[in-house]
Structure 1
Amino acid sequence: MLTERYFASITGPPLTNNTAIAKDVGIYEHILHPSHSTAGTFKKSSAPRHCLAVSDAHVFSAQHEKSTVHVYSREKGNQEATVTFQERIRSIALQGDVLVLGTDQGRIIVWETCTGRQVTTPACHVQAVTCIASTPYHLITGSDDSNILVWQLPRLLERDTTIEHEPEQTLSNHRAAITSLAVSQSINRDTNICVSASKDKSCIIWNYQTGMALRTLLLPTSPMNLCLDPCARAFYASTDDGSMFAVELFAEKSLIGAQSAEASSTAVQVLSPFGSVTQETGPASSLGLSYDGTLLLSGHPNGQILRWDLSTKAVATEIANLNAIVSNILFTSPISTSRDTQPVSIVKPFLGSRSYNFTAQLESDQADETHFAKMLNSKGFSQDALEQAIISLQQPQPQASAAGDDELRKEIESLREINNELNALQKKTLQRYIEAKSAQK
Structure 2
Amino acid sequence: MSPPPKKLVLAASSADAGVAAWDLRTGAEDIRLRPCASRPHALVSVADRFLAAAQAPPPAGNSGTVHFYHWDKPQVAIKSFPAEPIQVLFADPEGSYLIGGGGKGNIFLWEVASGELLHTWHAHYRAVRCLALYDYLLVSGSEDGSIRVWDLITLLDEQSRLEANTSYLYNFSQHALPVTDIACFLGGIAVSSSEDRTCKIWSLSEGRMLRSVSFPSIIDSVALDPRSHIFYAAGRDGKIYVTAMGVDVSSHGNDDSSILGALDDHSKAVTSLAASSDGLLLVSGSEDGNVRVWDTRSQQVTRKFKHSQGPVTNVLIVTPKRINLPPLQPLRKVRSSNGEAEARAVILPRPENNIPIPGNSSSIFLERCLDALQKHDGSSRLFEPGVSSLYGAPNQQGSEWRSRYLELQDLFVHEQWKFVFLDHVLKSVGEMRKFQWKATKRLNIETG
Which TM-score band applies after superposition, normalised by the shorter structure? Answer: 0.5 to 0.7
Where does residue 335 of structure 2 map in the other structure?
351
Where does residue 277 of structure 2 map in the other structure?
291
Where does residue 31 of structure 1 map in the other structure?
23
Distance of aligned partners of 1:316 and 1:4 in 2 relative to their CA distance in 1, 3 Å threshold: closer
Q: Quick one: which of 191, 194, 197 aligns to 2:190? A: 194
SS at match of 1:155: helix
The Cα of 1:293 is off from its aligned counterpart by 1.2
Distance of aligned partners of 1:349 and 1:295 in 2 relative to their CA distance in 1, 3 Å threshold: farther
Is 1:304 matched up with 2:290?
A: yes
SS at match of 1:200: coil
Which consecutive unaligned segments of at least 5 residues does structure 1 have? 14-24, 250-254, 367-441
What's the CA shift string for 1:312-335, capped at 9, x where partnerless? Answer: 22367623343332110011258x
What's the CA shift string for 1:2-54, capped at 9, x where partnerless? Answer: 532222112225xxxxxxxxxxx511222212x22222221111111110011
Where does residue 438 of structure 1 map in the other structure?
none
CA distance in 2, matches of 1:46, 1:173: 32
Cα RMSD, aligned residues only: 3.1
The Cα of 1:162 is off from its aligned counterpart by 6.8
Paired residues of 1:151 and 1:166 also in contact (CA < 8 A) = yes
SS at match of 1:108: strand
CA distance in 1, matches of 2:177, 2:315: 25
SS at match of 1:156: helix
The Cα of 1:265 is off from its aligned counterpart by 4.1
Where does residue 182 of structure 1 map in the other structure?
183
SS at match of 1:228: strand
Please list, as runs of the form range in 1=range in 2, the aligned pairs for 1:54-69 lying within 5 A after superposition.
54-55=45-46, 56-65=48-57, 66-69=63-66
SS at match of 1:151: strand
CA distance in 1, matches of 2:117, 2:56: 22
Paired residues of 1:107 and 1:120 also in contact (CA < 8 A) = no
The Cα of 1:144 is off from its aligned counterpart by 0.8
What's the CA shift string for 1:415-438, capped at 9, x where partnerless? Answer: xxxxxxxxxxxxxxxxxxxxxxxx
Where does residue 143 of structure 1 map in the other structure?
142
CA distance in 1, matches of 2:353, 2:239: 45
CA distance in 2, matches of 1:130, 1:30: 27
CA distance in 2, matches of 1:206, 1:302: 32
Is 1:50 matched up with 2:41?
A: yes
Where does residue 103 of structure 2 map in the other structure?
104
Paired residues of 2:292 and 2:305 also in contact (CA < 8 A) = yes
Please list, as runs of the form range in 1=range in 2, the aligned pairs for 1:358-377 lying within 5 A after superposition.
359-361=349-351
**Aligned partner letter, 2:167:** E
Paired residues of 2:237 and 2:270 also in contact (CA < 8 A) = no
Where does residue 115 of structure 1 map in the other structure?
114
Where does residue 5 of structure 1 map in the other structure?
8
**Aligned partner letter, 1:51:** A
CA distance in 1, matches of 2:285, 2:355: 42
Paired residues of 1:225 and 1:287 also in contact (CA < 8 A) = yes
Where does residue 367 of structure 2 map in the other structure?
none
Which consecutive unaligned segments of at least 5 residues does structure 2 have? 58-62, 340-346, 357-448
> TM-score under structure 1 normalisation?
0.68
CA distance in 1, matches of 2:120, 2:134: 19
The Cα of 1:113 is off from its aligned counterpart by 2.4
> TM-score under structure 2 normalisation?
0.67
Is 1:81 matched up with 2:60?
A: no
The Cα of 1:99 is off from its aligned counterpart by 1.0
Equivalent pairs counted in the alignment come to: 335
CA distance in 2, matches of 1:220, 1:44: 36
Where does residue 377 of structure 2 map in the other structure?
none
Structure exhibiting the larger radius of gyration computed from Cα positions: 1
CA distance in 1, matches of 2:188, 2:319: 21
Q: Among the aligned pairs, what percent are the same residue? A: 25
CA distance in 1, matches of 2:24, 2:8: 6
Paired residues of 2:226 and 2:277 also in contact (CA < 8 A) = yes
CA distance in 2, matches of 1:97, 1:342: 16
CA distance in 2, matches of 1:161, 1:82: 34
CA distance in 1, matches of 2:135, 2:326: 19
